[in-house]
């Protein structure tokens, strides 16, 4: 057991856990933040995607001992961000979700893409979203929602 001080969505949180515990399970069970999902546990599906130090990160395979003081942003906090909010709104406007279980991860990956690429092409979307599984296969609407969010952000002069 060890104590870790974490910066989660702008707040300081302290947890005492086995250092080998993946960030995903610290978020879900120690911090009771269940918005980040468990889909596979081997970084193959992306349901666990959060941002660590500004980078889209698969939290199911990063032990808490590897985080340090890098700021963590989860689906619960991404709405505070201009791009995050635009993506969430676009997801709702475009009626993307079905079962919804993968969508936290999809949104976090999409936000990372849009922060970097203001006018993503289909190829950009293929590549940045290409590692997130949606078993319901809402992919066509995900693609559309990303383009809609990009358009909205451009309108806002971002």
Partner 1 sequence: MSIATNSHVLHRRGFLRVSFAAASGLLVSLYLDPRFAGAQEGGGQQPPAKVYPPDAFVNIRPDGKIVIQVNRLEFGQGVQTALPMLLADEMDADWKNVIGHLAPAADVYKDPMFGIQMVGGSGSIAHSFQQYREVGAKTRAMLIAAATDRWNTTADQCRTEASVVHGPGGRSATYAELAADAARKPVPTTVRLKNSSEMKLVGKKVKRLDSRAKCDGTLKFGLDLDLPGMKVAVIAHPPVFGARVKRIGDNEARSVEGVRDVFEIQLVKGSGVAVVADKFWPAKQARDRLKIEWDMTGVEAADSTELWTRYKQLSLTPGTVAVNGDLKAMDQVVARNRIVAEYEFPFLAHAPMEPLNTTIRFDGDRAEVWAGSQFQTVDQMAIAEVLGLKPEQVTFHTEMAGGGFGRRAVADSHVQREAATIAKRFRGTPVKLVWTREDDVQGGYYRPMHFHRVEVGIGPDGFPAAWRHVIVGQSITADTPFAAFVVKNGVDQTMTEGTADSHYNIRNLHVSVHHPKVNVPVLWWRSVGHTHTAFVMETLIDELALRAKMDPIAYRRKLLKPEAKKLLGPLALLETATAAWRNRLPKGHALGISCHESFGTGVACAVDVSIENKRPRIHRATLAVDCGLAVNPLSVESQFQAGVGFGLSQLMAKGAITLKGGRVEQRNFDGFVPPYIIDAPMAVDVHIVPSGEAPTGCGEPPVPVISPAVVNALARLTGKRYRTLPLANI
Partner 2 sequence: MPAIRARLVVSAVAAVAIAAGAFVHARVVDRNTTTAQGLAAWDQVYSVLISPRCINCHTATDYPQQGDDRHRHVANVVRGGPEGKGVPGLNCASCHQETNADSTGVPGGHNWHLAPLEMRWQDTNDRPLSSAAVCRQITDRSRNHNLDGPGLLKHHEEEALVKWAWNPGRRPDGTMRTLPPMTHEQFVAATRRWVEAGTPCPAGR
Contact positions with partner 1 (CB under 8 A) in 68-87: 74-76, 79
Residue 109 binds what, of partner 2, partner 1, none (CB under 5 to 8 Å, by partner type)? partner 2
Q: Please report which helix (H) or strand (E) contains residue 36, including its range.
A: none
Angle between helices 139-155 and 82-93 (to 10 degrees): 130
Q: Tell me how far CA of residue 114 lies from CA of 10, 77, 97, 126, 127, in angstroms.
A: 21, 17, 19, 13, 13
Out of 25, 58, 83, 150, which residue is the one contacting partner 1 (CB under 8 A)?
Answer: 25
Measured from the CB atom, is 137 or 157 closer to partner 1?
A: 137
10 Å CB burial of residue 49 (0-12, 13-18, 19+) is: buried
Binding mask 30-69 for partner 1 (x = CB under 8 A): x-xxxxxxxxxxx-xx-x----------------------
Q: What is the dihedral of CA 44, 47, 48, 54, to 10 degrees?
A: 100
Contact between 101 and partner 1 by CB under 8 A: the answer reads: yes
Footprint of partner 1 (CB under 8 A): 1, 18, 20-22, 25, 28-30, 32-42, 44-45, 47, 74-76, 79, 88, 91-92, 95-104, 107, 122, 125-126, 129-143
């Amino acid at each position: 057991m060890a104590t870790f001080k974490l910066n989660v969505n702008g707040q300081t949180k302290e947890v005492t856990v086995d250092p080998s515990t993946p960030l995903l399970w610290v978020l879900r069970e120690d911090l009771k933040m269940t918005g980040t999902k468990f889909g596979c546990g081997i970084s193959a599906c992306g349901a666990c995607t959060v941002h660590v130090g500004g980078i889209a990160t698969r939290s199911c395979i990063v032990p808490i001992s590897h985080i340090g003081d890098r700021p963590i942003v989860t689906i619960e906090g991404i709405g505070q961000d201009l791009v995050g909010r635009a993506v969430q709104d676009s997801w709702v406007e475009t009626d993307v979700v079905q079962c919804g279980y993968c969508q936290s991860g999809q949104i976090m990956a999409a936000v990372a893409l849009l922060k970097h690429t203001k006018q993503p092409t289909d190829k950009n979307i293929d590549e940045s979203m290409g590692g997130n599984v949606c078993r319901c296969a809402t992919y066509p609407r995900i693609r559309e929602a990303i383009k809609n969010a990009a358009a909205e952000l451009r309108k806002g002069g971002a």
